[in-house]
């Protein structure tokens, strides 16, 4: 067998996947040809390194570590965000309550500015009813009708 044919079959020879006849002829050529024998030794070394790199050490607790890391990151991210949202919601409720209270106080005390609005007499009396006791509202209407 010549060198080019040996080079084609050399990887299969090293792996042990050649049939007996071809394996014996490659083995015979390697005993006679020192350059092919050196190439075969270099190829065995390279394949040995590749096989070592294929082997990965198993970490039986890898999944547990990843899950624990995910939970710790999830807690650290969600707690501050929830706290901020909680305080923002409380502030919004307080501000809404203050403005609602101010507007109710204006209507009840009669300091609401209705002069800029063009309203009918009926609407005026309805607004006036909120500002005065109900008895005086009916008395005013009764006096006007007489």
| pLDDT score at 88 | 92
Closest CA to 124 of 90, 112, 135, 88: 112
Cα–Cα distance, 126 to 139 (Å, whole number): 14
Q: What is the pTM of this model?
A: 0.37
| pLDDT score at 131 | 61
Cα–Cα distance, 62 to 145 (Å, whole number): 91
Q: Give the single-character DSSP code of 115.
A: T
Q: Which residue has the tokens 């547990």?
A: 64
- Parse the chain into domains and list their residue ranges: 3-54
| pLDDT score at 89 | 93
| pLDDT score at 79 | 62
The residue ranges of the chain whose pLDDT is under 70 are 73-79, 110-119, 125-146
| pLDDT score at 136 | 60
| pLDDT score at 139 | 60
| pLDDT score at 90 | 94
């Amino acid at each position: 067998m010549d060198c080019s044919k040996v080079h084609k079959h050399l990887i299969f020879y090293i792996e042990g996947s050649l049939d007996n006849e071809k394996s014996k002829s490659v083995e015979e050529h390697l005993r006679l040809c020192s350059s092919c024998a050196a190439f075969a030794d270099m190829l065995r070394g390279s394949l040995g390194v590749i096989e070592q790199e294929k082997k990965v050490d198993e970490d039986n607790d890898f999944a547990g570590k990843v899950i624990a890391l995910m939970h710790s990151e999830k807690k650290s991210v969600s707690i501050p965000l929830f706290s901020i949202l909680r305080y923002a919601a409380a502030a919004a409720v307080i501000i809404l309550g203050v403005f609602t209270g101010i507007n109710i106080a204006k209507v009840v005390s009669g300091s609401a500015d209705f002069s800029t609005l063009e309203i009918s007499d009926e609407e005026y009396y309805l607004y006036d009813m909120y500002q005065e006791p109900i008895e005086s509202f009916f008395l005013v209407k009764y006096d006007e009708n007489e």
